[in-house]
Amino acid sequence: MKDLYLVYKNLTRKKLRLFLTSFAIFIAFLIFGAVTALQGALNSGVEMSADNRLVVFNKINFTQSLPYAYVNKVSGIDGVKDVTFANWFGGYYQEPANQVVTMAVDPDTYFDVYEELQVDTQQKANWLQNQAGVMVGERLATVNNWKIGDRIPISSNIFSNKDGGQTWDLVVEGIFTGKDPQVDTGYMVFHYKYFMETQSWGGDYVGWIVLTTDDPAINEQVAKAIDENFANSQAETDTSTEKAFNKAFIEQIGNIGLIIFGVVFMAFFTILVLVGNTMVLAIRERTSEIAVLKTLGFSSPRIFRMILTESCLLAFLGGLLGLGAAYLAVGALSKMMARFLPNLVLGEDIILQALGYMLLLGLITGIAPAYRALRLNIITAFARG
Amino acid sequence: MSDDNLFELKAVAKRFKKGKETISIFDDLNMHIKRGDFLAIMGPSGSGKTTLLNLLGGVDQPTSGEVSFDGARIDSLSEGQLATWRANNIGFIFQFYNLMPMLNAAKNVELPLLLTNLSGKERQQRVETALKLVGLADRAKHMPSEMSGGQLQRVAIARAVVSDPKLLLCDEPTGDLDRNTADEILEMLQLLNREFGKTIVMVTHDPAAARYATHTLHLDKGQFVDKDEPVLQEKSA
Ligand SMILES: Nc1ncnc2c1ncn2[C@@H]1O[C@H](COP(=O)(O)OP(=O)(O)O)[C@@H](O)[C@H]1O
Ligand SMILES: [Mg+2]
């Protein structure tokens, strides 16, 4: 494209203006990239949850436990495929700031229900053998640099050990991975039975029950059957799909989707007005130059394209820099926040989306001045000076 | 009508609507321009000189009548066809140079060549030749803001001739220049006419400028009027 030099010279003729407008676009795409990645991280639990997985919690709220006997009763309900259960442990490694998401689970069934997790058969066999064994998610293992065979003391703020301390010595028996890079592996699981036997309160309750149904189509029906089964008993249950539960859980923080939409919308609206206005002014200043180009024989559609190219270049200049900065920021943040936000990544989908918005921004901000130039009449343009 | 004619205007009318009124600039204008002419058009302000030049240059269309160039009608071409026609046949020189401020001299001169199929290298060679012709080979990299009025007009002339058009249209090309610089520019136009066979139509206020032309036409109230041209005879002899 021979006109590209001309377009480039027009774009860069006012350095300060170029800097200010591309900086505004830069900021908008930085916000977009970072905030969308954050939203993705928060939502990944929702997106990654299996379609046919249900969670059963105590109806009072999800921190209340359920009687152990419920596990068997749930297994007996029609349409239920696999059942497992878990108990919250929490815990930290070496110092309280170093939180480690830990759950006490049923080792025999846990990985059947969480099919998106991959475990080596030998490692799993070793884990089943060792009461004090723990299976660590890949991300968590990487963050703490844990290897198989490592002895890791995990302390709790909630529970006490029967020996009087608050620390459990666990041994890494295996490292599980996700079948998909977005599967959360930022936690670890150890034996429920061992936990119950070693903690001072003991008891025969479970934190929650997780099950799969034979078919996602019967989710509703199964959930209803479970809750009805325990209606009017000592602990009523609230069964929902894992997706719905995760979503509700996230929404406790606030309507994140709406907040994020608002932030992104404001950022884009601002630059749309700002850049659009700048483009209109820039092209208006060039009225007589456009008339000259037309006189020389540059066709109106060609000038139309040149102006759209200019506005798109501007959008991509600021946009790509902003997206690049967001990528670096998210990369740094995800290292710092690996424990809380395991899936904080600026992925391909966000990049594609951002590229689409850049193109859109370029076209929208360029269309009015480009159209004006298209229609510009040589004679009246010269007459006006 | 002979093949000597590059331009032929027959019964050309040009009217503008101004509110409810219709202003008629030309009612029945007839003229021809021969190949190799250097025609000066003089006349009072508002007499329609620029309008005539616009019609000749294909930036404006007559309300009625015929405009033929090289034997072909241009008065019925579409806007896009006219743009191509202008690029192929006409070199424009303006009173206020109308160079692109963000392009250096060479890039300004190259503009019309962007409308051709010439390679980058060929374009560059042509630009060099054109700048050499106007005596600005050493200013190729200079920006318009760094040049004097006379230099700017010479760059504009280089831009007008770089694609080798048959016809040069100049609207008050020396209107913004002092006497000496004006003479330099007019000599350059005369050279282009005599040595390179360019047909030139130049609108001017300045009788001294008209002396460089081979013919002068006087326009008044949309009509050509007869005037004796003793000076013209003397000069072109
Ligand atoms: N687009 C237009 N609309 C209305 N009137 C015009 C237009 N262009 C030129 N005129 C009028 O036509 C007359 C001739 O204009 P012009 O050709 O520019 O004269 P000159 O160049 O001889 O001074 C002037 O009165 C001018 O106001
Ligand atoms: Mg005029």
Ligand 2 centre from B2 Cα, in Å? 30
B87 interface with A at CB cutoff 8 Å: yes
**With the CA atoms of B111, B172, B208 and B145 taken in that order, what torsion angle do they form, in degrees rounded to the nearest 10?**
-60
User: How far apart (Å, rounded) are the C-alpha atoms in residues B14 and B222?
Assistant: 9
Write out pLDDT tens, residues A213-227: 999 899 999 999 999
Chain B residues inside the 8 Å CB shell of A296 = 86-87, 92, 111-112, 115, 159
Helix (H, G, I), strand (E, B) or coil at A345: coil
Instruction: Tell which of A10, A287, A294, A296 to mutate to test the B interface (max B CBs under 10 Å).
Output: A296
| One-letter amino acid of A242 | E
Task: Tell me the average pLDDT across A272-276.
Answer: 94
pLDDT in tens, A60-107: 887 889 999 999 999 999 999 999 999 998 889 988 888 888 999 999
Q: For ligand 1, is residue B105 a contact (CB within 6 Å)?
A: no
If you average pLDDT over residues A260-268, what whole number do you get?
A: 87
The number of helices, as runs of H, and strands, as runs of E, in chain A is 14, 13
- Give chain A's contact residues with B (Cβ, < 8 Å): 2-3, 5-6, 9-10, 12-13, 288-289, 292-301, 378-379
**B35 CA to centre of own chain:** 14
Mark yes or no for CB contact B83/A297 under 8 Å. Answer: yes
Largest CA distance in chain A: 96
Shortest-distance Cα residue to atom 16 of ligand 1 = B48
- At B52 the pLDDT is 95
pLDDT digits (tens, 9 = 90+) for A346-370: 889 999 999 999 999 999 999 999 9
pLDDT at B2 (0 to 100):
54
Mean pLDDT for the stretch of residues A171-197? 90
Sign of CA dihedral B109, B114, B119, B120: positive
b/e code A128-139 from CB counts within 10 Å (16+ = b) = eebbebbbbbbb
Residue identified by tokens 């943040």 is: A333
What pLDDT, on the 0 to 100 scale, is given for residue B82?
95
Choose among A9, A292, A379: nearest Cβ to B102. Answer: A9
The number of domains in chain B is 1
Q: Is residue B27 part of a domain?
A: no
Angstroms from A302 CA to nearest CA on chain B: 10
Ligand 1, atom 25, lies closest to the CA of B46
The Cα diameter of chain B in Å comes to: 54
> Does residue A372 have a pLDDT over 70?
yes
Cβ(B23) – ligand 1 distance below 6 Å: yes
Report mean pLDDT in 10-residue bins for chain B, 237 residues: 81 91 92 94 92 94 94 92 95 96 97 95 96 96 96 97 96 93 95 95 94 93 71 38
Give the pLDDT score at B233.
38
Q: Supply the DSSP string of A25-75, one letter for each residue.
A: HHHHHHHHHHHHHHHHHHHHHHHHS-TTEEEEEESS-TTS-EETHHHHHHH
> Is residue A232's pLDDT more than 80?
yes
Q: How far apart are CA A185 and CA B84, in angstroms?
A: 65
- Cα torsion angle, A297, A301, A304, A305, sign: negative
- In three-state secondary structure terms, A111 is helix
Per the CB < 8 Å rule, is B86 touching A296?
yes
CATH code at position B145: 3.40.50.300
Residues facing residue A133 across a β-bridge? A171
Neighbours of A383 (CB within 10 A): 10
Which residues contact residue A156 at a Cβ distance below 8 angstroms, ignoring those fewer than 6 apart?
Answer: A89, A90, A91, A92, A166, A167, A168
Tell me which residue has its CA closest to atom 26 in ligand 1.
Answer: B46
Which pLDDT value is given to residue B221?
Answer: 84
Any ligand 1 atom below 6 A from CB of B190: no
A380 C-beta neighbours (distance < 10 Å), count: 10
The answer to whether the CB atoms of B103 and A6 lie below 8 A apart is yes
Cα separations in angstroms, B184 against A115, B145, B157, B181, B197: 88, 21, 12, 5, 19
**Residue-number span of the structural domain to which B196 is assigned:** 36-59+89-232
Q: List the domain boundaries for chain A.
A: 3-46+254-384, 65-234
Q: Is B117 on the interface with A (CB under 8 A)?
A: no
Can you spell out the DSSP letters for A173-233?
Answer: EEEEEESSTTS----EEEEHHHHHHHBSS--SEESEEEEEES-GGGHHHHHHHHHHHTTTS
What pLDDT score does A314 carry? 96
Instruction: Give the pLDDT confidence score for residue A30 in this predicted structure.
Output: 95
**Residue A208 in tokens:** 């929650």
pLDDT at B234: 39
Does residue B46 line the site of ligand 1, with CB under 6 A? yes
In the prediction, which pLDDT does A96 show?
86
Q: How confident is the model at residue A342 (pLDDT cuts 50, 70, 90)?
A: low
> What's the pLDDT at B236?
39
Q: Which residue's structure tokens are 């080596």? A: A120
Select the residue of B79, B85, B103 nearest A300 (Cβ to Cβ). Answer: B79
Compute the distance from residue A253 Cα to the ligand 2 centre, in Å: 71
Q: Count Cβ atoms within 10 A of the Cβ of residue B120 and give its class: 0-12 exposed, 13-18 middle, 19 or more buried.
A: exposed
Mean pLDDT of chain A: 90
Write the residue with the smallest CA distance to atom 9 of ligand 1: B51
| Whole-number pLDDT of residue A18 | 96
- The ligand with the least distance to the CA atom of B175 is 2
ipTM of this model? 0.92
pLDDT, average across residues A145-165: 89
**Angstrom distance (rounded) from CA A224 to CA B130:** 88
Task: Using DSSP, state whether A318 is helix, strand or coil.
Answer: helix
List the single residue in A2, A5, A294 with the smallest CB-CB distance to B83: A294
In tens, the pLDDT along A275-311 reads 999 999 999 999 999 999 999 999 999 999 999 999 9
CA pair distance B236, A80, nearest whole angstrom: 109
- Name chain B contacts of A379, Cβ cutoff 8 Å: 54, 59-60
Q: Is B114 on the interface with A (CB under 8 A)?
A: yes
Query: Is the C-beta atom of B204 inside 6 A of ligand 1?
Result: no
pLDDT value at residue A384: 64
d(CA A50, CA B38): 85
3-class DSSP string for chain B: CCCCEEEEEEEEEEEEEECCEEEEEEEEEEEEEECCCEEEEECCCCCCHHHHHHHHCCCCCCCEEEEEECCEECCCCCHHHHHHHHHHHEEEECCCCCCCCCCCHHHHHHHHHHHCCCCHHHHHHHHHHHHHHCCCHHHCCCCHHHCCHHHHHHHHHHHHHCCCCCEEEEECCCCCCCHHHHHHHHHHHHHHHHHCCCEEEEECCCHHHHCCCCEEEEEECCEEECCCCHHHHHHHC
Q: What three-state secondary structure class fits A130?
A: coil
Please name the residues in contact with B130: beta carbons below 8 A apart, sequence gap of 6 or more.
Answer: B109, B158, B159, B161, B162
Domain-located, residue B79: no
Q: Report pTM.
A: 0.76
> How much is the pLDDT for B237?
34
Rounded Cα–Cα distance for residues A210 and A49 (Å)? 12
Q: Is the beta carbon of B104 within 6 A of some atom in ligand 1? A: no
